[in-house]
Amino acid sequence: MRGVFPAIITPFKNGEIDFEGLEKNINFLIENGVSGIVAVGTTGESPTLSHEEHKKVIEKAVEIVDGRVTVIAGAGSNSTAEAVELSQFAEDVGADAVLSITPYYNKPTQEGLKKHFGTIAESINLPIILYNVPSRTAVNLEPSTVKYLAEEYSNITAIKEANPNLSQVSEIIRECNITVLSGNDELTLPIIALGGKGVISVVANIVPKEFVEMVDYALKGEFDKAREIHYKLYPLMKAMFIETNPIPIKTAMNMLGMPSGELRLPLCKMKEENKKKLEEVLKNLGLLK
């Protein structure tokens, strides 16, 4: 797990998944040098996909990629049994790894998290990427818990860390034998400087080439060049979160003529004033005329 892994959107057309659009988006990303893709994460609107749709997107993504890059399947849930089912399905259809979020809403203890992820790890042979995003789940995966999981389960190999606390990132990298991937685009560069190996990215859906260049420079220790790209893309990284993800990225992709389509409720169209801000950022970067 090293490099840029865009968390791909799920394009819709007339309320249904646009699989032709999905293929176009995936091929665009691969052609621009990404290390892999993450299908059916939060950016892919996993909360509003049916289980059948969720599985179909994973299966179709594996088919489209056809071994060219790594396919990471979003397979998390706040039900351990459901997470096991999705993870086993991902393994059966040929995904390369699974992304497993901390259970949301029911707020398990750290002991509960150990048992949750341990149960998933014992159910499959695929590498597992833990996903820590306290802002969405209301629970933080503590470094001591990450250390325990990495030591106890050989297939828990990485963590997508979306807690913006860089002190916690430092502790995980220092204490745990696990690969750290940034879960926040704007923190990718500092996390790599601390020892991280890449990013699961939202903004890379539309600027994959530039983001790959930035990460490649950073991983080679060429931080002056990486920093230049970071600050160039920084306004876009911030604009991706002026409303709840994936509202801004899907709006941007529609503006750029990329397959995206509508959002599913309870997500809805971006406010006009925010849409104008996003449009201005895209114009300033030369992405939109």
153 in catalytic set = no
Q: Is 70 assigned to a binding site?
A: no
Give the strands of the sheet with 156-161, arranged side by side.
3-6, 198-201, 179-182, 156-161, 128-132, 97-101, 70-74, 36-39
| Short-list 206, 204, 286, 209, CA closest to 251 | 206
Please provide residue 224's backbone torsions phi and psi, each rounded to the nearest 5 degrees: -65, -45
Task: Output helix, strand, coil percentages for the chain, rounded to the nearest 5.
Answer: 50, 15, 35
Q: Coil, helix or strand for 192? A: helix
Distances from the Cα of 83 to the Cα of 54, 74, 124, angstroms = 12, 9, 11
List Cβ<8 Å contacts ≥24 apart for 106-109: 106/78, 107/137, 107/138, 107/139, 108/139
The catalytically annotated residue of 55, 114, 160, 250 is 160
Q: Is 200 assigned to a binding site?
A: yes
* Cα angle value 130/244/75 (rounded, 5°): 30
160 in catalytic set = yes
State the alpha helices, DSSP H only, in 43-187.
Answer: 51-65, 80-93, 110-123, 134-137, 143-152, 166-175
The catalytically annotated residue of 131, 148, 197, 275 is 131
Binding site, by residue number, is 43, 200
Annotated binding site for pyruvate: 43, 200
Q: Which residues are catalytic?
A: 131, 160
